[in-house]
Structure 1
């Protein structure tokens, strides 16, 4: 299976930091096409910086970032993104919020007006997949936090991206809603060939969802451990109560504890 995201010997410094310290340094990471990868590590280790580098929202001062065989020199149009805050526009309906990327990204932008009915049908299909069937007419303020996050996932997927970047998407939700959404994203990934990179502080989340987990060091961030997750798919939430799952979570916790001590 080919590398889809290849971050090679990357160092990045934010220009406005007072101490001039690197956010990530000598960072190497490769994610295979169609893989579900999770990035974990202590706070401030550069997880979100990695996400920005992979999507062309930041460019490294050293090293190369390659996505789908091309060096990243501009924002990556084949990527979809979802964040901890769904940031839905309150004056637009849920359906119109989900359609928003199509008003920006070509070739959809040119086709949206002429083929509006087809795109609306795609939105309705995605809403049904995430458990929001018939909710497209509602405004964000009429939806719960979990429902808004489901809609945010639809918005990230509406333009059929090859790469889905998830930055702490469930961090603000209660435990039960979070676990429901684990199953939603599990099923979405199983139904499509999209490559997923999840940035999370939740080690259980990483262990449940990912094919491979990368642990980052304290700042400046680099990969200090890599772990294949060999639990068979499809995974049920019951697996999170097994000794094997608990062992994996403790192993990951150990890597992060070592990273914090080394800071």
Structure 2
């Protein structure tokens, strides 16, 4: 499987303190693969996401997406974060259309092809269980509904790469599991490459084909686990011995990573 996202011996630091967020970080995610990254707090997981999308550039090493070196923000990527960050003065539908006002070639087409883009947005809302909610404002939606809308906004320009940075961390357990299934179905239907950063080991194992575990800061990959569970997965798989053993294995690796060297 060719690598769609590839970081090779990457080191990056913020500011002038010289302390690296990641150091010697190498990781490759295949095209169409769902990969998850876990690790202790502050290990550089979010830095990895910024490097993969061209929001930051490494001090050393190389970052490639779709075979090209990343030297500017990656247009073929969509992102969703822990906080939905929907604009409160725009309807849910208009929030979904916001990236199209920025990203070419959609920006040039949006005005004359608005009906087509609105239909795409409404189809996405229906796919995540928000049919008929497009004219509501974010403050009229629950937290889970806002996060569903945020996922739709990340997908509205039909990206080849979806990056999820702790997207469900602020939600209750039941809503979180509902949204795992939404993401599972979206990824399967679209065949896109997905990179998920999460603290939730159950979430990582339920959704991913492979899970990468990072060390404490400065972050690097210290373990990689293939999730050998058949797809499609339902929530019942989370009670199986194979699932539980893999979660425990990852928890052990993170516990080791948190120990002072």
1:41 matched residue in structure 2: 39
1:175-190 correspondence runs (5 A) = 175-190=173-188
Secondary structure in structure 2 of the residue aligned to 1:5: strand
1:114-135: CA deviation from partner (whole Å, max 9, x where unpaired): 0000000000110011000010
Secondary structure in structure 1 of the residue aligned to 2:20: coil
1:215 matched residue in structure 2: 213
Secondary structure in structure 2 of the residue aligned to 1:23: strand
1:11 matched residue in structure 2: 11
Query: Shift in Å at residue 15 of structure 1?
Result: 1.6
Runs of 4+ in 1 over 6 A off after TM superposition: none
Aligned CA-pair RMSD: 0.7
The match for 1:74 among 72, 75, 81 is: 72
- C-alpha distance in 1, partners of 2:61/2:40? 23
Query: Shift in Å at residue 243 of structure 1?
Result: 1.3
1:13-57: CA deviation from partner (whole Å, max 9, x where unpaired): 1025xx421000000000000000000000000000000000000
1:156 matched residue in structure 2: 154
- C-alpha distance in 2, partners of 1:2/1:102? 29
- C-alpha distance in 2, partners of 1:262/1:207? 26
Q: How many residues align?
A: 261
Secondary structure in structure 2 of the residue aligned to 1:75: coil
- C-alpha distance in 1, partners of 2:203/2:168? 9
1:1-263 correspondence runs (5 A) = 1-16=1-16, 19-263=17-261
1:125-178: CA deviation from partner (whole Å, max 9, x where unpaired): 100110000100000000000000000000000000011000000000000000
1:215-256: CA deviation from partner (whole Å, max 9, x where unpaired): 000000000000000100000000001111110100000110
In structure 1, list runs of 5 or more residues that go unmatched. none
- C-alpha distance in 1, partners of 2:260/2:229? 30
- C-alpha distance in 2, partners of 1:213/1:219? 18
- C-alpha distance in 2, partners of 1:136/1:157? 15
- C-alpha distance in 1, partners of 2:29/2:184? 18
- C-alpha distance in 1, partners of 2:12/2:103? 27
1:181-207: CA deviation from partner (whole Å, max 9, x where unpaired): 000000000101210000000000000
Q: TM-score, normalising length from structure 2? A: 0.99
- C-alpha distance in 2, partners of 1:124/1:262? 50
- C-alpha distance in 2, partners of 1:2/1:242? 31
Query: Shift in Å at residue 262 of structure 1?
Result: 4.0
Q: TM-score, normalising length from structure 1? A: 0.98
